[in-house]
Structure 1
Amino acid sequence: MFSVTVRDHLMIAHSFSGEVFGPAQRLHGATYLVDATFQRPELDDDNIVIDMGLAGREVRGIVAALSYRNLDEDPDFAGTNTTTEFLAKVIADRLAARIHDGALGPGAQGLTGLTVRLHESHIAWADYHRTL
């Protein structure tokens, strides 16, 4: 399996509901390092997994739409704990939709998997993997 990863970052504000979150129940900020890894079993005709420039552009667009916002005020996330794990899935699903719509070019049709990793700190992160 071949893979290529592109990286960006995300800055948001949010709060959580539930005793398990302790002080994070209050409004707080979070900065994540975002890695999107694209997988395929064979390289395409140009011997690449994905056009890294297009991949970076699409990841940046998805992250920009979430950045510098209080996710508690976003109707799409009403009543939802926007945990690191949850946000990794949101980004992966939005990226998969862009791949499906052709935004990453025709070579992206050979992709078979996508993993989004959100680094919450230098010692903790969460991944979401999905097939394409």
Structure 2
Amino acid sequence: MTLFSVTVRDHIMIAHSFRGEVFGPAQRLHGATFVVDATFRRAALDADNIVVDIGLASQELNAVLGQLNYRNLDEESAFAGINTSTEALAQVIADRLADRVHAGALGEGARGLDGIAVTLHESHIAWASYERTL
């Protein structure tokens, strides 16, 4: 299937810790800064000949990230009992963006989107992504 895509970028700074020996020293509280890319996909352009309104996509990504930015995720009830790995955070952000698409926050044209992919870049050499349909 051929898809068009538009990607917007922002960033977050969080603190968190992990449970489990696999995480080694990251079991202790530490900070992380993520560059976050949100990619919106669709098979055909909308009536305005776009994938999504880039301004609204940027605004809504910023709003979703604002719920996480400068927070200790260990203290957030939404993350109780889970390891907030890069992969898990990518899913949370994608799901929250999907909720905003369904609520109409990205405009009526965005209701025709086929999917969203969110990538969190931990550094210039490591990142993780989550992709979902809408």
TM-score normalised by length of structure 1: 0.99
Is 1:70 paired with 2:94? no
Return the match for 2:60 from 58, 61, 78.
58
After TM superposition, which residue ranges in structure 1, 4 or more long, deviate above 2 angstroms? Answer: none
- 1:108 matched residue in structure 2: 110
For 1:62 and 1:102, the matched residues in 2 are separated by 15
For 1:29 and 1:64, the matched residues in 2 are separated by 16
Aligned residues: 132
For 1:98 and 1:108, the matched residues in 2 are separated by 10
SS at match of 2:67: helix
CA RMSD of aligned residues (A): 0.4
For 1:46 and 1:105, the matched residues in 2 are separated by 12
For 1:109 and 1:67, the matched residues in 2 are separated by 27
| Structure 1 stretches lacking a partner, 5+ long | none
- 1:88 matched residue in structure 2: 90
Q: Give the drift of 1:45.
A: 1.2
For 2:133 and 2:116, the matched residues in 1 are separated by 6
1:1-132 maps to which residues of 2 (within 5 A)? 1-132=3-134
For 1:60 and 1:109, the matched residues in 2 are separated by 19
| Structure 2 stretches lacking a partner, 5+ long | none
Identical aligned residues as a percent: 70
Q: Give the drift of 1:46.
A: 1.1
SS at match of 1:99: helix
For 1:84 and 1:60, the matched residues in 2 are separated by 18
Q: Give the drift of 1:44.
A: 0.8
**Structure 1 residue identity aligned to 2:127:** W
**Structure 1 residue identity aligned to 2:54:** M
SS at match of 1:63: helix
**Structure 2 residue identity aligned to 1:106:** E
TM-score normalised by length of structure 2: 0.98
